[in-house]
Amino acid sequence: MFGLSAPAVSAELPPPLKQDDFIAFDSKQAALGQLLFYDKILSGNRNIACATCHHPSLGTGDRLSLGIGEGGEGLGLQRSAGTGDSRIKKRIPRNAPGLWNLGAKELHVLFHDGRLSIADTFENGFNSPAEEWLPTGFNSLLAAQAVFPVTAQFEMAGNPKENEVAGAIYDRIDNAWPILAKRVRIIPEYGRLFVEAFDHIDAPEEVTIVEIANALAAFQAVEWQSFDSPFDAYLGGDETALGPAQKRGLELFYGKAGCSSCHSGKLLSDQKFHALGLPPFGPGRTRSFDPMVRDVGVMGETDRLEDAYGFRTPMLRNVELTAPYGHNGAYPTLEGIIRHHLDPDGMLKAWKPETAALPQAPWLEAIDFVVWNDAREMARQARFRDIEPLSLSNAEIADLVAFLKSLTGSQSVTSPPFGIPATVPSGLPVDR
């Protein structure tokens, strides 16, 4: 290139994302995983499915800043915090992320704080909250992830004394998995499907949580693979795939706005952790010996002070569909989260608690904004910033938004391979 058309893009564009970049999963296992993903049988009180918080009609998230786990009722913005004895006792501390492209081979860390990663710390392939109690035999990182929501008290397991799953976890995390596996395999249709889908399973009695997790992973990975966006077409060589505003946004993203220094590579994430100083709220992820209701992010995992308040750089395909944004869903729009990157302190000052999408739960109000109202903790958080303020014009911010919208795919968004099942083998109601 030369003369007037000299490239404004200073960072290299990534190579296109291709089918080869994804782990190949078994399609029978994926079909079985579809039923499990939508089946409330995997929750202690049989009242919530994976899909309740990761719904395809809600971009594979739940549209809420902080979600409502077991005990709540309804879906998305209509979800309520429940009533009577079963009402929720705590909000879910972080935003439910979208599940796009989680079967990518190069993905090595999951969760906003990276508490699950591929590593040999415990000689079972993964560094996870279950440490040496994590079973072996998972087909992927994504499969190892699937055993955690079912053991989380406020997500799916429920409270001790309410059901046999929650009671078992209270003793030790791995006690709950055999109970859940049995619940599933004694349903004749599930038993048959497991025998058909897994070569090493000859009878339903042999099904463990590992096969359940492998099926769930196969389903999520196959269902929500997305690399057919206009941006992907552009990377593939189709110069006409992006409109003028999207092209200007791309030039900013890979140029002076510096976005690609963190949202880098094929997946648009460095899979590393950075402190952006989002407005804090919610119950936090309280650590033992920490009196504060706060979320220290990846430091909770590494125990290194320099990691305080750092969260994983999200991948960005289909980001248009997964509002609200950030690890706690602090910003309802793409423009808002971009402006926060550009001016964290200014945006923090201007942020209003009403901005958060939090279903009403008056009995939790005292906790919701404890940190936000704590001047000393807010000052502490302000000392950790891994991003340089940058001044962009309103037109440039609009171009960045246009570019982010060019990351929206089509096939897996509008007609994914499996979709929502009409019914599930347990006979429990399916969220739709």
Residues that bind ligand HEC (CB under 6 A): 42, 48, 50, 52-54, 67, 69, 92, 94, 96-97, 99, 102, 110-113, 142, 145-146, 149-150, 155-156, 216, 253, 257-259, 261-263, 274, 276, 278, 311, 313-314, 319, 322, 325-327, 334, 337-338, 341, 386-387, 400, 404
Structure tokens at 142: 């994504």
Distance CA 87, CA 129 (A): 27
| Residue 62: CB minimum distance to ligand HEC, A | 7
Distance CA 222, CA 225 (A): 6
| Residue 315: CB minimum distance to ligand HEC, A | 7
Distance CA 216, CA 31 (A): 9
Distance CA 324, CA 336 (A): 10
| Residue 69: CB minimum distance to ligand HEC, A | 4
Structure tokens at 420: 């929502």
Say if CB 142 and CB 109 are below 8 A apart.
no
Q: Which is nearer to ligand HEC, 203 or 429 (CB)?
A: 429
Distance CA 347, CA 156 (A): 34
Distance CA 395, CA 228 (A): 27
Q: Which is nearer to ligand HEC, 235 or 275 (CB)?
A: 275
| Residue 397: CB minimum distance to ligand HEC, A | 8
| 164, burial (CB in 10 Å: exposed 0-12, middle 13-18, buried 19+) | middle
* Nearest in space to 413 (alpha carbons), one of 224, 152, 173: 224
| Residue 329: CB minimum distance to ligand HEC, A | 8
Q: Which is nearer to ligand HEC, 1 or 418 (CB)?
A: 418
Q: Which is nearer to ligand HEC, 5 or 360 (CB)?
A: 360
| Residue 196: CB minimum distance to ligand HEC, A | 21
Q: Which is nearer to ligand HEC, 54 or 266 (CB)?
A: 54
Distance CA 119, CA 246 (A): 38
Task: Output the CA torsion sign for 22, 23, 24, 30.
Answer: negative
Distance CA 197, CA 101 (A): 23
Please name the residue that has the structure tokens 């395809």: 56
Q: Which is nearer to ligand HEC, 113 or 232 (CB)?
A: 113
Distance CA 392, CA 395 (A): 8
Q: Which is nearer to ligand HEC, 1 or 207 (CB)?
A: 207
Cis omega (within 30 of 0) for bond into 280:
no
| Residue 130: CB minimum distance to ligand HEC, A | 14
Say if CB 297 and CB 307 are below 8 A apart.
yes
| Residue 417: CB minimum distance to ligand HEC, A | 17
Distance CA 111, CA 100 (A): 13
Q: Which is nearer to ligand HEC, 232 or 295 (CB)?
A: 295
| Residue 221: CB minimum distance to ligand HEC, A | 10
| Residue 177: CB minimum distance to ligand HEC, A | 12
Q: Which is nearer to ligand HEC, 101 or 124 (CB)?
A: 101
| 316, burial (CB in 10 Å: exposed 0-12, middle 13-18, buried 19+) | buried
Q: Which is nearer to ligand HEC, 95 or 124 (CB)?
A: 95
Say if CB 16 and CB 404 are below 8 A apart.
no
Say if CB 39 and CB 428 are below 8 A apart.
yes
